[in-house]
Amino acid sequence: MKDETIQEVSQLFQKVLTVVPSENPKELYADHVKIRQVLEKISAEQDKFVPNKDRASKLPAFLEWAKNNNIKFDNSEIKESDKGFSLIAKEDIPEKGNAVEVPRSAILTSDSSKINKGLRELFLNDQLVQSVENCSLVLLLAHEYLDPKSHWTPYLDILPGELLSPLTMTNEQLLSLKPSNAFILAMQFFRCIARHYVYFFLMTHARESARLLPKLSSDAIKKTLFTSKNFSFDLYVWCTAIVTSRVNRIPNLVQIGNQTTTSPSLIPIMDFANFEFIGDAAAAQSEVFYSIPHKKVQLLLHRNVKAGTEILIPIGNKSNRDCFLYSGFVPLEDSPVDIYELRLGFPQKTEQWKLTAAQRMGVLNSKEMAATFVIHLSTFYSHQLEFSAFWNFAKLFVAKTANDFNTEANIKQAREYLLKRFTLYLEGYKTLPKSEPKDASSLEKYIWRLKRSEQKNLEAMVAYFEKSVEEIIKSNGTTFPEIQENSTSAQETPTAPTATPTTSDT
């Protein structure tokens, strides 16, 4: 690796990747371009990462491997579908039946006894690995991929070679996400993963160049297969995308005191089950259950499944945005757990009483001027406005004194403020096609679905705040009479409104 490349990577790590990123989208994008340029320089001097793309040809060997490792799936089979691969019932499976059963020994997890000694030491001693939820599993997956003798090779070969992810998108594709907030979140995600990668890359290179490292990290990295030639960003991205889209958490074998801890894991066969989008987890078709006494994971069915029917697992609380960012797709159907994130903030010269009131009410964190409010439509409609954090923020934003907070005049102004904001955001989607483009790529279709779901949420919020002032006042709940102008004592020592909303409506 050229010295000038290493120097540039080090400067990127110190001056960009470890610095708090700007909230300005233009500055964030400028950083993103710079990060990609340096990563491409590293890749140009490394072995090219080429994952297996012919999954179908590897399926027989994988199924044989699964049986040899005591994975039980007699009631189900893996078939190609428009989703790639799907888990299908071979015969009728009754309610409370078992579709798949995987022993712990066949689960790829950082808590496994089979992992590399150097990796184990790294997992125990490195602060970054310990502080980032899935980092250990990403490194383990990368290490197993580089090991020609890996026990997991048949499983690795069947994993998708091509993944849609913000980590693999070009700059032009990334820009096409605008005006969705996913544009900013995708850049932040890329920046985060780039920081992790560069951290481990520099550690690996320092080992090879005999530079001093903290003893524990140095000893650990020396015992792995990672080199500055084979540890590429493309490999790290592929492993990250696999983990974020397929990860489950299972209880650790070794517990700390009475506390139950878990490890991220990949569960062969079971991870071929696609997601079911359902708002009520109790009504889901299946459940991933870990049996501690038997040390195995079971895919238990809560409904009868007919032969030839796809076996699904619940999506949980993943919004369309999270599906796109971390799982590389957006569902065709409307998601009952979808959300809209509304970013609101005070100007720099805002009176201190407003900031104090916002913090006491829980709509702002300490020392922050802005917040992101999560709007879940079904939850929003089932509660009065007074319990919505973004509504209380709006009332504080337009209020002149603390005594104005729940007056009818202030409620009217807050309504107008939010109506203008939602209308303005909705205007950004006016060029979005009315229907999904038929001849577009999968990525383009997913981006359209993401934007369309956001557009629908915005349309719903505009319609809500276009309701009569009387309805908005009624939904606000408590209202106070306006204070006369000659009553100045409240303005001199205002009292913060008493309310306890959170920054989320979910």
**Residue 495 maps to a domain:** no
In this prediction, residue 502 carries a pLDDT of 42
Please give the Cα distance from 399 to 408 (Å, whole number). 11
Contact 200, 235 (CB under 8 A): no
Percentage of residues of the chain with pLDDT beyond 90: 66
Domain count for the chain, please give it: 2
Contacts of 88 (CB under 8 A, 6+ apart): 76, 77, 78, 79, 308, 309, 310, 311
pLDDT band at 280 (very low <50, low <70, confident <90, very high): low
**Residue 183 maps to a domain:** yes
Q: 429 and 306 share a domain?
A: no
Residue where one domain finishes, among candidates 332, 365, 399: 332
Q: What is the CATH number of the domain that holds 153?
A: 3.90.1410.10
**Residue 64 maps to a domain:** yes
Q: Tokens 């709940």 — which residue?
A: 477
Residue 504 has pLDDT above 50, yes or no: no
Residue 503 has pLDDT above 80, yes or no: no
Residue range(s) defining the domain that contains residue 351: 340-483
Could you give the angle at the alpha carbon of 145 between the alpha carbons of 144 and 148, nearest 5°?
85
In this prediction, residue 70 carries a pLDDT of 96
Q: 300 and 212 share a domain?
A: yes
Please give the Cα distance from 386 to 505 (Å, whole number). 11
Q: Average pLDDT, whole number, for the chain?
A: 88
Residue 489 has pLDDT above 60, yes or no: no
Please give the Cα distance from 26 to 22 (Å, whole number). 9
**Residue 502 maps to a domain:** no
Q: Which residue has the higher pLDDT, 315 or 128?
A: 128
**Residue 65 maps to a domain:** yes
pLDDT band at 506 (very low <50, low <70, confident <90, very high): very low
Q: What is the CATH number of the domain that holds 416?
A: 3.90.1420.10
Q: 149 and 288 share a domain?
A: yes
In this prediction, residue 212 carries a pLDDT of 47
Give tens-digit pLDDT for 410-450.
999 999 999 999 999 999 999 999 999 999 999 999 999 99
pLDDT band at 343 (very low <50, low <70, confident <90, very high): very high
Q: Do β-strands 76-81 and 84-89 pair in parallel, antiparallel, or remain unpaired?
A: antiparallel
In this prediction, residue 114 carries a pLDDT of 78
Q: Which residue has the higher pLDDT, 17 or 207?
A: 17
In this prediction, residue 279 carries a pLDDT of 62
Candidates 244, 291, 304, 287; CA nearest to 102 is 291
**Residue 376 maps to a domain:** yes
Q: 53 and 186 share a domain?
A: yes
Residue 151 has pLDDT above 50, yes or no: yes
Give tens-digit pLDDT for 230-279.
999 999 999 999 999 999 998 887 666 667 788 899 999 999 999 887 76
Residue 170 has pLDDT above 50, yes or no: yes
Q: 209 and 122 share a domain?
A: yes
Q: 249 and 328 share a domain?
A: yes
Give tens-digit pLDDT for 190-216.
999 999 999 999 999 988 776 544 444
Could you give the angle at the alpha carbon of 272 between the alpha carbons of 311 and 167, nearest 5°?
130
**Residue 501 maps to a domain:** no
**Residue 14 maps to a domain:** yes
In this prediction, residue 482 carries a pLDDT of 62
pLDDT band at 478 (very low <50, low <70, confident <90, very high): confident
In this prediction, residue 334 carries a pLDDT of 84
Q: Model-level pTM?
A: 0.89
